[in-house]
Amino acid sequence: MASHNCLMRIAVAVTAGLGVAAAMAAPARADAIDDQFLGALNSAGVDYQDPAGTAALGQSICPMLAQPGGTFAAAASSIAGKDGISPAMADMFTSIAISMYCPSMMQSLAHGEVPTVPQLPGAPGI
């Protein structure tokens, strides 16, 4: 009976460990993309002060494009002036954000089309 209790404790510990690993898997991927995004901004000469805030701002670009009437110009103009970003740097920021966070939109934008984003379950309007 003691060995049965021991096996149950091990099973519970393994199950809990797998749950924690699964919960941490998604943020690790997001962090990698955010790191790539920030690295691309650095390479392009786009300065920023707050890495987490800058990544969140980059992530906001794709939903902006998916809104009715969303355009590259509108998304870029919403970035211009934030943290001293010039209009030219806002264009660069927006291009990099699209290439990192929603690369499937790049071709649509290049052809002057309004990109469509598949509807995500539980996320209306995105």
| 49-97 residue pLDDT tens | 899 999 999 999 999 998 898 889 999 999 998 877 899 999 999 999 9
Q: Which residues contact 100 (CB under 8 A, 6 or more apart)?
A: 33, 36, 37, 40, 58
Assess if residue 115 is contained within a domain: no
Domain limits at 76?
29-110
- Long-range (24+ apart) CB contacts under 8 A made by 106-114 are 109/65, 109/72, 114/70, 114/71
Query: Total structural domains in the chain?
Result: 1
Assess if residue 86 is contained within a domain: yes
Whether the model clears a pTM of 0.95, i.e. scores above it, the answer is no
Q: Tell me, what's the pLDDT at 107?
A: 67
Assess if residue 50 is contained within a domain: yes
